[in-house]
Amino acid sequence: MSTGIAVLASRVGADEKRLFDALDRRAVPYDHIDTRRQWFTAGRRDLPWGLVLNREIGQYRAAYAARCLTAAGAEVVNSAEATEVCGDKWRTTLAFEAAGLPTPRTALGLTPEAALDALESIGYPALIKPLVGSWGRLVVRLPDRAAAEGVFEYVSALPGPQSHLGYVQEMIDKPGRDIRAVVVGGHLVGAVYRTGDGLRTNVALGGRTLPCETTPEITKLSIDAAASVGADIAGVDLIEDHDGRLLVLEVNHRVEFSGFQSALGGRVDVADHIVEHLLERAHR
């Protein structure tokens, strides 16, 4: 098997540039694979790469590329299975439950009508979230049944069958912030608070990042959450309820870390941690 390293990405942003710089500093040869121009032949096993870092931003391209590369004999980080689980909120929730991790009460209605019934069990206010999505997009607060009925009337008219599945979750009375922790190779790299004025604190939607002092509880929950979905490299989102109890929300398999590093004042080099982990994997 080849021992070459590749970075899979259709979009080269600030994080990817940091990764390329970290590889260059260590004089590690690598190839950048642009998924927009990459194709695979079934049965092919003569790839020039033995290890691939998956930084593809598109969920379906990331998952299928990981499957193709794995079938061809390459080791992919994160794995195809981890990419698929993290990319599906219900599968992520099931992984958390199986690992015994604290998470908000969540239900999946197989039809919009069933999701309305599920909401009666969870109680209002609640949230409806898309099964596949990131950056807090399409997350809707449902204050009462009337609002939920309006949303699901719209959902019923959507063309895609997956859109008719209702992923609903209790709304946690959080203190205007959540926690983003970064885990690499089973170790906590650090954590930051993400603050915002509204429901969503995602940096992509205008949220701000501030340093968060890590605690044994944050460390354990973050590492356990990443392990539950099989992610070597993970952005773990935690939330505090009104009693200060920490809950796990989700795990991102393609963690964005430039804002994370800035909030920590440059004390943490996430790209260097990732490259170090890749080199450890390459020499196993």
Residue 26: DSSP 8-state: T
Q: Using CA atoms, how far apart are residues 106 and 129, in angstroms rounded to an integer?
A: 11
Domain boundary among 170, 199, 221: 170
pLDDT of residue 136: 67
Q: Confidence band (pLDDT; 50, 70, 90) for 245?
A: very high
CATH code where residue 240 lies? 3.30.470.20
Domain boundary among 86, 113, 137: 86
- Per-residue pLDDT at 254 exceeds 90: yes
Q: Which two tokens stand for residue 117?
A: 């019934």
Mean pLDDT of 199-211: 66
Q: Using CA atoms, how far apart are residues 137 and 273, in angstroms rounded to an integer?
A: 29
Q: Would 100 be classed as within a structural domain?
A: no
Q: How many domains does the chain have?
A: 3
Domain boundary among 57, 86, 115: 86
Q: Would 208 be classed as within a structural domain?
A: yes
Mean pLDDT of 225-249: 96
CATH code where residue 164 lies? 3.30.1490.20
Mean pLDDT of 187-191: 98
Domain that includes residue 161, residue range = 105-170
Residues 117, 147 within the same domain: yes
CB 129 within 8 A of CB 103: no
Residues 181, 277 within the same domain: yes
pLDDT of residue 3: 63
Q: Would 130 be classed as within a structural domain?
A: yes
Residues 210, 275 within the same domain: yes
Residues 64, 117 within the same domain: no
Q: Confidence band (pLDDT; 50, 70, 90) for 199?
A: low
Residues 276, 192 within the same domain: yes
Q: Would 95 be classed as within a structural domain?
A: no
Q: Would 99 be classed as within a structural domain?
A: no
Mean pLDDT of 12-35: 96
Q: Would 14 be classed as within a structural domain?
A: yes
pLDDT of residue 124: 96
> How many Cβ atoms from other residues are within 10 Å of residue 242's Cβ?
9
Residues 79, 112 within the same domain: no
Residues 117, 207 within the same domain: no
* E runs forming strands in 171-275: 177-184, 187-195, 208-211, 233-240, 246-252
Residues 227, 189 within the same domain: yes
Q: Would 94 be classed as within a structural domain?
A: no
Higher pLDDT, 213 or 44: 213
For the stretch 92-106, pLDDT in tens is 999 999 999 999 999
Residues 217, 124 within the same domain: no
Residues 162, 181 within the same domain: no
- Per-residue pLDDT at 1 exceeds 50: no
pLDDT of residue 99: 98
- Per-residue pLDDT at 247 exceeds 60: yes
Q: Would 91 be classed as within a structural domain?
A: no
